[in-house]
Amino acid sequence: TKPTQHSVRELMEIGIQPDVLICRAEQALDEGTRKKIALFTNVPIDGVIEARDVDTIYEVPLELRRQRLDDVVLDLLQIEAPQADLVEWGRMVERVKNPSSGTVRIAVVGKYTELVDAYKSVQQGLIHGGIANDVKVKIEWVSSERYEGGALEGHFESFDGLLIPGGFGDRGIEGMLMPIEWARENGLPFFGICLGLQCAIIEYARNVSGRTGANSVEFDADTEHPVICLMDSQQQVTTKGGTMRLGEYAASLQEGSRVEEVYADQEIKERHRHRYEVNNEYRELFERSGLIMSGTSSDQGLVEVIELPDHPWFIACQFHPELKSRPNRPHPLFASFIKAAAAHAAGSQTRAAVGARE
């Protein structure tokens, strides 16, 4: 308790008397410790709240409610409010801690995997998708540079889904294309976000639409087939600060498409952060070769979503759905992706069982 007493004493020296202390600890605080802290900090014992380690961050509100922190704060502020109803939240936490429908393994192939917090929102979106499907999501972070100039060596056969997240610059781009090709050819659920959509377009242009050397002008300004190009609004921009397509924009989804089924709506709004877009001059070529542009922006006719109708689950979007996902309101794209990954996992187990019997 000494560090706590010292901290409160320092606060009191500058005229701050705390009403509540939230005490981080690896284990529960015993009653004697709480009384000692209350005595030497002049804080009511009801205001000494433990914040011990829990299995998931989503359990923290339940722990604080168990100790009546909300009631303490309301009493201090003399505010009346109805009793908090955390029943559904508690059920959600139980699904996080004890999923009943198995585990799915998702490979996230990106540029910044040495610091996974760079993809924190993507990570949480995948976890939220697991909550929606009552499955545990095990994520493997893979640097795309691992595959540059080399074979995949069967690495993706053990995964149930592949996700390519956002990013900028040409480093590691070629290492993203091979996993996308493998997922497309082998029926592995694939989810591309922002840069992930652009890489899916490049891979498809090269390997299906017959445009050898197709690329983004971001990575190769002299490419013969600029399937990804600067938006018209960016063509004359020479400085890059504050010039991106940022914020929430509306998009229209193609009737009967898989993404419309996922959203259960034809009009959506999503958050964006990008400068480059699918080159509309190649849209007809892609659609002739089987790639559907199933979502377009309502303002400029830009490609927002692509999908392969004959694939178990192959969807990529130009926007960032992870930014709107919440544990109790998983984004529909993440929920649908994990559902497809769970189906893939179940199919793999069935095939393995049949092979063992044979």
Tens of pLDDT along 235-256?
Answer: 555 445 556 888 999 999 999 9
**C-beta separation of 102 from 135 below 8 A:** yes
Q: Which of 116-125, 135-144, 232-241, 269-278 has the lowest mean pLDDT?
A: 232-241
Is pLDDT of 172 > 90? no
128 is catalytic: no
Average pLDDT over residues 31-37: 93
Query: What is the structure's pLDDT at 236?
Result: 53
| Mean pLDDT score, 300-328 | 96
Q: Which of 128, 272, 311, 320 is catalytic?
A: 320
228: which residues sit within 8 A by CB, 6+ positions away? 198, 201, 202, 215, 216, 217, 218, 276, 277, 278, 279
Compute the chain's Rg from CA coordinates: 25
Is residue 23 part of the annotated active site? The answer reads no
At residue 353, the pLDDT reads 46
Q: Is the pLDDT of residue 356 over 70?
A: no
The reported pTM is 0.88
Over range 7-31, report the average pLDDT.
93
pLDDT bucket at 351, cuts 50 / 70 / 90: low
Model confidence at 299, pLDDT cuts 50, 70, 90, reads: confident
Asked about 320 being catalytic, the answer comes back as yes
The mean pLDDT of 161-184, rounded to a whole number, is 92
Q: Percent of the chain beyond pLDDT 70?
A: 94
Q: Which pLDDT does position 233 carry in this prediction?
A: 56
The pLDDT value given to residue 354 = 41
Of 50, 194, 199, 229, which residue is the catalytic one?
194
Confidence of residue 355 (pLDDT cuts 50, 70, 90): very low
The pLDDT of 59-84, averaged and rounded, is 95
Q: Which domains does the chain have, with CATH numbers?
A: 2-92 (3.40.50.300), 101-235+245-349 (3.40.50.880)
Q: What phi and psi, each to the nearest 5 degrees, are found at residue 279?
A: -75, 115
Instruction: Exactly one of 225, 229, 322, 344 is catalytic; name it.
Output: 322
